[in-house]
Structure formats: C-alpha cells, structure tokens
A and B are shown apart, each in its own frame.
Chain A
Amino acid sequence: MALPQTELRPMGKSILRKEDPRLIRGKGRYVDDIMLPNMLYLCILRSPYAHARIRRIDTSAAQAAPGVKLVMTGEDLAKMNLAWMPTLAGDQQMVLATGKVLFQYQEVAAVVAETRAQAEDAIQLIEVDYEPLPAVVDPFKALEPDAPILREDKEKKSNHIWHWEAGDREETEAIFRDAPVVVKQDVRFQRVHPSPLEPCGCVADYNSATGRLTFYVTSQAPHVHRTAIAMVTGFPEHQIHVISPDVGGGFGNKVPIYPGYVCAIVASMKLGVPVKWIETRTENIASTHFARDYHMTAEIAATEDGKMLALRVKTIADHGAFDATANPTKYPAGLFSIVTGSYDFKAAFVEVDGVHTNKPPGGVAYRCSFRVTEASYLIERVVDILARRLQMDPAELRLRNFIRKEQFPYRCPTGWVYDSGDYEKTLKLALERIGYDELRKEQAEKRARGEFMGIGISTFTEIVGAGPAHSFDILGIKMFDSAEIRVHPTGKVIARLGVRHQGQGHETTFAQIIAEELGLSADDVLIEEGDTDTAPYGLGTYGSRSTPTAGAAAALCGRRIREKARKIAAHLLEVGEDDVVWDGTSFSAKGLPGRSVTMKDVALAAYTNVPEGMEPGLEATYYYNPPNLTFPNGAYIAVVDIDKGTGAVKVRRFLAVDDCGNVINPMIVEGQVHGGLTEGFAIAFMQDIPYDADGNCLAPNWMDYLVPTSLDTPKWETDRTVTPSPHHPIGAKGVGESPNVGSPAAFVNAVVDALSPLGVEHIDMPIYPWKVWSILREHGIEE
C-alpha cells in the first residue's frame, strides 16, 4: 500500500495519487461532462465508400429537420478556406470532403442541432450522390504504375509520399556481401488504434462580445492545439483559450487535430453559442488516426559463431489517405532508425517509403515514441530468427551482441547516442527471476511428449523524450518543455507544466519532484496542466517525453527557486550565502548548530522580509531543452502454452524487467508497466483493423477491434534495474511506453519458439488461434 502524500523527501517513494480522490468519486471532469448554457451538438456524416467522387450533396431536408441550426459541407468550408487543414506531418487533410472521399468513414458533412439525437436524425436526411471509384487498399499495389492516383490535390502524381533513410548504405552492403550468415524476414506490424476509453471530443465556445474562443478538448498537447488552431483559422492566438480537462486516456490518439474540432469551432463562431462534438467509438476507430501499418523486411548479417555485423531494413509505411503522423518534422518515419536496438552492429541501413491508400489517415505513436514499437518489434523478432538459424539459445545470442555498459555513451550506426544502460545485467536478472534454465528443461520434456510450450525473450531499447532543439520540432516549434512554480507565502506551491497527463499521474509525480527539490511534501504542491492561459508553453505528453522533458523542467525550476531561497535563508540566518547548507528539508548555517530555516520560513520571508535590493516573491519558470534523448530499456520474458486442439495460446507467465533510470514513484511505474504490457498483449494476440478489397473497414468498433478484459489479461510480474540517465537532472528516463514497445516481440517469440520444432520461424501478429491451428494441422499435429 502506498504512503500518504504528507511524506517528506518523497522522491522514489510510492505516494498515493493526488488525482484519485476526485476520480473515485465520479467527480472527474472530462470533456463530455462540460455542459454550457445554450450548448448545441454537432454530428458528422461519414462516407460509406473508401474512394468515390461526390457528385452532389443535398442538405435541404436536414436543414429543415427539427432542432437543426446549421448544416455544413466541404463546399461551405471551402468558402472560408477551411475545407483542408494541415496535418502535424506537413501534409494536409480534408476537414469535410470536397470533390471526392478518400476513405470509408471520412467526414462529409456536419449538422448542428439542439440535441444529440436531433443531430443524428438530421444526418440521416442528407443525401449524397457518390460515384464509386476503385479503392486502393494494398500499399504495394498503390505504388504500381497503373494504380489510381488518390491525391489529386498534390503536385506529385503518385501515391508515394516520401522516401527516408538512415545509416550507411554502402558500408552495410559491403558487410552483407561477405557475411557468412544472412537471415531475412518480412514482418508486418498491423494497423492498430490507441482506442483510449474516452473517445475524442470538444466543446467550442466562441464569445462574440469578447472575441475569445474557449476550446475544451480532450488533448495530450493543448498548446500545440492552440497554435495549430491559430495557424489554420488565422484566429489571433491570444484570443484562443484551450482547456484540456481530465483526459480519459490518450496513448497518442489525442495529439492530432481532428476535423470534428474544426467543424465545432466554425459552428460556434457562426452561431455564437457553444458547440459540443463527441465522437462515437466507431468514429474513433474508423476515422481518427491509427498506429503502425508498417510492412517491414529486415536482414541481419552475422558470423557463424553469432556475432551480428550489420542490419538492413526496408519498409513500406501505409499512411492512408493523408500523412497525419504526429512525428517531429525532420523525422517522417519517426525514430524508426533505433531499429539497431540493444546490439552493437558495425553498420546499418534503414529506408522507409510512405504510401497513400484509401484508408484513414495517421501513423501516430500509440503508446510509444515515434515508430519505436515497430523498430523494437522488428529487431527483436529477427534476432530470434538468427538464433534459430545458428541453433543458438536466443538469450545467449543477445548476451553476445549487447552494447556493453562500458561503451556508453554509445553512438549507434544510425546516429543516435545512447545515454546509458546495462543490458547484460538486466537480461541476466530476468533469466534468473523467471528460472530460464528450468523452463528450458520443462520445455524439452514437453516436446518429448508432443506438447507445445514456448519461451520468448525481448531485450529492447527505446528512444524517448523528444527532443533536443537542434533536430526536434513540431510545426516548427522546438520540442522543449516547461514548468512554472509559484511558492505562496505560507509555503504552499502551485506548479504548472506544458505537458498534459492522461492517467500517468503527473499531479503526483511532478509534485514529488518539486517537493523533493523544495524540501516539502507532495501534499504541499498542487500541479496544474492543460490550461493554455495559465500553463507555460509545452509540446505535450506523448512519446514518454513528460518525465524526460517537463520532469526535468520541474526539477530545474525547483532548483532555481531554491537558489533564491538560499539567498533569503542566508539573510534570515544572518550568514553569508556560502555558509548556508541545504540538507533536503531545511537550510542551516554552517558551523552554527541548531540554526536552520525551512522552505516555509523562506517562503514567508520572500513576501515579508527579503534582503535589501532583492525582488520580492518566490516564483520561477524553466524551459528545458533536453541535451539528448533518453534510452529506457528492458528484458522481457514470456512463457506460453499452446492448445493443440484449438490453437489457442495461453500466456502462463510474463516477466518484465525494466530499466527506466531513477524512479520517482515505484507504484506508478509498476502500474504503467502493467498497462503497457496489457496493450502489447492485445496487439500480439487480438488487435487488427483489416480492410476488404473495397476499402471497407472490418473492425470499426469494439465488437471486432478487440480490447482485452480482466479475464483475457495475463498476470504480470515486474522487476527493475536502475541505470540513471547521466544527462537528466534527476536521472530518469521515462517508462510509460516501454512495456508496449518491448512486449509484442516477447509474445510472438514465445509462440514461434513453441512451434519451432515444426520449422516455424515467423508468424505475423495478431496471433489468432486459427493461425496457430493452421500451422499445427499443416504439420499433421492433431488433438
């Protein structure tokens, strides 16, 4: 059980969460809970076709329907130059379709009415005359010369969006030419969706008297939303007030701007009243930005005794109709070049090609740093294939090729400089804790009896905390983050940050960081995020960047406060500043036992008794530009048993040993690991958004896009190693996404390991029971 919030020196302790008292009482305030006087409801008509020309839209019946106040089409928005909006990836996306639709469920028209039900009724009365066009679903076919060109708005007459590469092509190819062993595997990371429990939504409230737009939105990046709205609409940015209230999960889904937001803003400005738009689950899955959809091919060149030499990766990235990743500008494939993982390759070459298809837009980082899950999954999968080919134990192969701890800081062949790690120690701890040798013995016995049991290892390295200003920006804005601390006269503190939590527990962990720096308890520190009028500018919470960036800003801002506090303390203690000693909870005078003042004493003095010439008050702001990214890592081991009759896989055990550097709140870290593993489990075994040949979405809701329940979910075992990040002020690295990044490979490796006596080397996710069954029956294995 966790400790009370009144604990002093709270860093590293499991302190009870400060956000919980309201949430367990049903007193959270999520965007749909905001009900303003005279508020109207917006509902969106969506395309039934994946690719079709719009011949005509007749909205007359909808306009005449009960309660309807406004009907908008793409043509109406075009008159305001708002039919299209920029995506965070530098492409543009239709707000409401003009000319043609490019994916099923695309936004075609919007209705605003007095009630939700009336808006839904009126949607059904809009008549759209479509001329269906051939749909392009397969990204490889999209690249064929005779493929229909999807994006008529673009100058480039091709479905190819961009080519991106990293590493050294020639050096890599030279190694491959002479390599004694080469393994090659096609690996698909299927289309998935973050699908947080609270869908996306907003309330736009334009006040024509003040000219202010208050925009409530369930957002992971409220400042980015404010700037983006200003850029899209030309609305003066200081007149836009974005409030991201309690966020019911995000996982990357709530970084982008969606068409519904623009429609609600336009409607509120036209009608002069608040307009609410809350999407349904179907709209969430079938239209807001998806994740992954990478078709990857990886090759490893190695020696026969298992030294990995070079890595070559080629990928087709299906971005759907619009390139709408939320990647940093210079990285169209995100940080995918972390694909060399935890291993000391001599050379690597990675190339990615982005492609348009008739599918929803996206490519967001779903509970991971940008494209890092794809990279980790790929390398961890292919390393296992190499182990199999060399008939080596997969743990042994990994240990032989790890970047050694004395090699840090380590520059990998694609250019990243890893901060710290001890991969060998982490894997060895995992092997010992799970009882690896005994499990291999058990497996051998079971194999002899014709049973299928598998053990899968994943030793991933992430790259998070974007990012250093020299290369990371979104919409041109550098990816720093910020904190502002105000210490009140009675020693109580309010702190505001530029990030926005969605369940990560910032109200607790950032209070712990600041309390630690100021010698207070977490109870003394109130954390506020999500209000752009009050919080300092920040880029938001995603890519495990909150602790690496805003957490650092909070610590350094606290230290800035403490520096001033030291001066005041010297004044109060009547000694020179150099004679003041800070012991973590109070300032004392060197050599004068018994004379000390606490931060509370100093706080009061800051407003009542500052030294001559000093500015009164005790406040500070800090904008933190990280010198480098951080590199959390871990060793995960899954143990599975296969039901020969049905092909069902049972995850018997799963151990996650994470190294996320110094830990702020172990309870919260463990909770994050549980959650991320569960999402990784779902991706490995359940989740996929398939499309038929006409581009119809076959899993547009939670009946077919499967989210695991308590009954499906395995029990998780966790442990930790700690290698602090040398460049982070508190040595932390970030953890929320590691388990989702690292776990899919462990699950798949375990299943493949179980089936390896049959010669199986790879199975694409999700591993549905029928896939395993097919393999078993092909090899004559029956129950």
Chain B
Amino acid sequence: MKIRVKVNGTLYEADVEPRTLLAYFLREELKLTGTHIGCDTTSCGACTVLLDGKAVKSCTVLAVQADGCEVLTVEGLEKDGELHPLQSAFWEEHALHCGYCTPGMLMASYALLQDNPMPTEEEIREGLSGNVCRCTGYMNIVKAVQSAARKMAGETGKAMGEVATSGTAAD
C-alpha cells in the first residue's frame, strides 16, 4: 500500500505491506535507527515516537495507520545543530547508561512536558511508566526531565519576554 508520512518534517512516500509496523518502517525503510525495539508485548517503550503529537509505541501501530500523519522521532529533536533541552539534560544528569531506552525515554518525556511543562516527580514517574530502563534505576532520568523542564520554562519565559519587548517597541 502507498503511504505518505511526514517524519521529522520531511515528507516520505513509500509502498509498504499492511503488516509493516511503524517501528520497522522507520528503522528499515527510512533508516531512522534511533527508534529501538526491546520487546514483543508492547511493554518496554523503546520504540516510542510522537504520532500527530501523541506519544505512542510505534511497534504497536501499523505503518499504514500513519498515512497522512506526522511522526517525530529522536532524530528530529535536535534543531539546527542544537540539542533539545531534554537531550542536554539527559547528558548532564547521567540519565543513560547503555542508551538503548534513551530515544524512547526522550520522546515520552517530550510528550510529557508538552502536556505538563512543570511536572512533579510523581507526575514524571507516572508519565514515563510505559518506558522500561534496565540500567539507570530512573532516578537520574527523573532529574533530567525536571532539569529540562526548568530550562524550557526559562527559555519560554525569555522568548515571551522578548516578544513583549518587541511589541512595546513596535507600539
């Protein structure tokens, strides 16, 4: 079946078997291998991507279901050579060891902060409870999300401040 999917801002057209799972489409057709596969029972979340803005397990969505949709993967987080605040925070807070869960964790965290820009620790733990990490024990992942949230709030504040300033100038 022919599908058209926008992934990380680029429109792709492909011909896929209906049974192709979105995770494999991203990895094997588009060679976006940052999206990982860690289980066969929709348990681990290593394959988490954003599908039309919602975090989903891409091993449990068919590629044909993404036809006409927008997908954001870990490869789409960095903008113009600048790491996303979540990526820097994961690095700074030692929120990864082997790195296999990291793309999924980053995408789930991205979705979490989108809906709840300043989550509590409990909200972060709840929000990431669909993603398994076997290495870190989660403490530093929670810290990283908190740190990124603060940074992003600062940036948003700054950006809003700038808008206000320029607005004043225009007046």
A and B from one complex = yes
Interface positions of A (Cβ within 8 A of B) = 1-2, 16-17, 19-30, 32-33, 35, 116-117, 195-199, 246-249, 251, 280-282, 502-505, 667-668, 670-672, 674-679, 701-703, 707, 709-711, 713, 715-716
Contact A23 B99 (CB under 8 A): yes
> Which chain B residue lies CB-closest to A707?
B132
A26 touches B73 (CB 8 A): yes
Inter-subunit contact A35/B41 (CB<8 Å): no
With A24-B87, A26-B74, A703-B41 in contact, do A247 and B34 touch (Cβ < 8 Å)? no
Q: How far is the CA of A149 from the CA of B92 in the complex (A)?
A: 56
Known: A1-B92, A502-B98. A24 touches B17 (CB 8 A): no
Give the chain A neighbours of B132 by CB distance below 8 A: 197, 702, 707, 709
What residues on B are CB-neighbors of A679 within 8 Å?
134
Closest chain-B Cβ to A36's Cβ sits at a distance in Å of 12
* A282 contacts across to B, CB distance below 8 A: 40
A219 to chain B, nearest CB (A): 13
Q: Which residue of B lies closest to A20 (CB)?
A: B91
Interface positions of B from 121 to 171, Cβ below 8 Å from A: 124-126, 128-142
Give bound CA distance, A499 to B37, whole Å.
Answer: 26
Within the assembled complex, what's the spacing in Å between the Cα atoms of A325 and B87?
39
**CA of A25 to CA of B101, assembled, Å:** 12
B134 in contact with A26 (CB, 8 Å)? no
Report whether B34 and A26 are in contact in the complex, using a CB–CB cutoff of 8 Å: yes
Least CB separation from B147: chain A residue: A1
Check A713 against B138 for contact (C-beta < 8 Å).
yes
Interface of B (DSSP majority class): loop
Q: Is B118 an interface residue (CB 8 A)?
A: no
The distance from the CB of B97 to the nearest CB of chain A, in whole angstroms, is 3
A760 to chain B, nearest CB (A): 29
- Complex contact A246–B99 (CB within 8 A): yes
Collect the chain A residues with CB atoms within 8 Å of residue B28's CB. Answer: 35
Q: How many angstroms between the C-alpha atoms of A246 and B96 in the bound complex? A: 13
Q: Of A675, A701, A710, which one neighbours B125 at CB under 8 angstroms?
A: A710
A624, chain B: closest CB distance, angstroms: 25
The listed residue (B39, B126, B140) touching A671 by CB distance below 8 A is B140
Whose C-beta in chain A lies nearest to the C-beta of B91?
A20
Task: Please state if B139 and A716 are interface contacts (CB–CB under 8 Å).
Answer: yes
Contact status A701-B40, CB under 8 Å: yes
Q: Which residue of B lies closest to A504 (CB)?
A: B97
| Contact B99–A28 (Cβ < 8 Å) | yes
**A1 x B93 contact (CB < 8 A):** yes
- CB closest chain-A residue, reference B97: A503
From A503, A702, A710, give the contact of B141 (CB < 8 A): A710
Contacts of A502 in B (CB 8 A): 98
Whether A19 and B99, one on each chain, are in contact in the complex, defined by CB atoms closer than 8 angstroms, is: yes
* Nearest-Cβ distance from residue A123 to partner chain B, whole angstroms: 14
Q: Which one of A196, A248, A679 has the highest number of Cβ atoms from chain B below 10 Å of its Cβ?
A: A248
Q: Which residues of B contact A23 (CB under 8 A)?
A: 96, 99, 102
Residue of B32, B44, B142 near A197 (CB, 8 A) is B44
Closest residue of A by beta carbon distance from B45: A709
Q: How far is the CA of A251 from the CA of B134 in the complex (A)?
A: 10
Contact mask for chain B residues 84-122; partner A; CB cutoff 8 A; 1 contact, 0 none = 000100111110111111110010000000000000000
- Min Cβ gap B108→A in Å is 10
List A contacts of B2 (CB < 8 A).
Answer: none
Q: Min CB distance, A199 to chain B, in Å?
A: 7
Is B137 touching A675 in the complex (CB atoms < 8 A)? yes
Contact B125 A668 (CB under 8 A): no
Contact assessment for B98 and A503 in the assembled complex, using a CB-CB cutoff below 8 Å: yes
B53 is an interface residue with CB less than 8 A from chain A: no
CB distance from A224 to the nearest CB of B (A): 20
Q: Is the pair A702, B41 in contact by a Cβ cutoff of 8 Å?
A: yes
Minimum CB distance partner of B37 in chain A: A32
CB distance from B121 to the nearest CB of A (A): 9
Question: How near does chain B come to A456, taking the closest CB pair, in angstroms?
Answer: 18
Q: Is the CB of A709 within 8 A of B131?
A: yes
- CB-CB under 8 A from A667, the residues of chain B are 94
Q: What residues on A are CB-neighbors of B139 within 8 Å?
A: 674, 715-716
Known: A23-B102, A24-B87, A711-B126. A117 touches B19 (CB 8 A): yes
Partner of B136, one of A17, A22, A671: A671
- Contact string, B55-82, partner A, CB cutoff 8 A, digits 1/0? 0000000000000000001110110000
Contact call A281/B92, Cβ cutoff below 8 A: no
Expressed in whole angstroms, the Cα–Cα distance for A505 and B94 within the complex equals 10
One of A2, A117, A247 near B92 (C-beta < 8 A): A2
Closest chain A residue to B103 by CB distance?
A26
- On chain B, the residues within 8 Å of A678 by CB distance are 136-138
> A226 CA to B100 CA in the complex, in Å?
25
Question: Could you say which residues of chain B place their CB within 8 Å of the CB of A29?
Answer: 33
- Find the B residue at minimum CB distance from A671: B94
> What's the Cα separation between A508 and B94 when bound, in Å?
12
Beyond contacts A27-B75, A197-B133: 9 other A-B pairs, Cβ-Cβ < 8 A, are: A25-B78, A28-B99, A197-B38, A249-B98, A281-B44, A668-B94, A675-B97, A677-B137, A713-B125
Contact of A710 among B75, B93, B142 (CB under 8 A): B142
A24 lies within 8 A of B102 (CB): yes
* Complexed CA–CA distance, A116 and B20 (Å): 10
Contact A24 B83 (CB under 8 A): yes
Residues from chain A with a CB closer than 8 A to the CB of B90 are 20, 24
Evaluate whether A197 and B101 lie within 8 angstroms (CB atoms) in the complex, with A33-B33, A35-B28 already known: yes
Residue from A35, A503, A716 with most neighbouring chain B CB atoms (10 Å)? A503
Closest-by-CB residue of A relative to B39 is: A281
Give the CA-CA distance A205 to B128 in the complex, in Å.
Answer: 38
B32-A16 in contact (CB<8A) = no
* Chain A residue nearest to B46 in the complex (CB): A197
Q: Is the CB of A198 within 8 A of B100?
A: yes
Given contact pairs A710-B142, A711-B126, A701 touches B41 in the complex (Cβ within 8 A): yes
Q: Is the CB of A24 within 8 A of B91?
A: yes
Q: Which of A247, A676, A702 has the most CB of B within 10 A?
A: A702
Q: Which 10 A-B pairs have the closest CB atoms?
A: A26-B34, A248-B100, A23-B99, A503-B98, A503-B97, A674-B137, A26-B74, A678-B137, A702-B43, A33-B33
Q: Closest Cβ of chain A: how far from B109's Cβ, in Å?
A: 11
Contact A710 B124 (CB under 8 A): yes
9 contacts between A and B (CB under 8 A): A23-B102, A24-B83, A28-B34, A197-B38, A246-B99, A249-B98, A502-B98, A676-B137, A710-B125
Chain B window 4-21, contacts with chain A (Cβ cutoff 8 Å), 1 for yes, 0 for no: 000000000000010110
Q: How far is the CA of A280 from the CA of B83 in the complex (A)?
A: 32
Give bound CA distance, A505 to B128, whole Å. 24
Q: How far is the CA of A671 from the CA of B93 in the complex (A)?
A: 10
Complex Cα–Cα for A710 and B140 (A): 11
Q: Which residues of B contact A505 (CB under 8 A)?
A: 97
**Alpha-carbon gap, A251 to B87, bound state (A):** 25
A248 touches B98 (CB 8 A): yes
A197 and B100 in contact (CB under 8 A), knowing A281-B41, A710-B124, A711-B129?
Answer: yes
A736 to chain B, nearest CB (A): 10
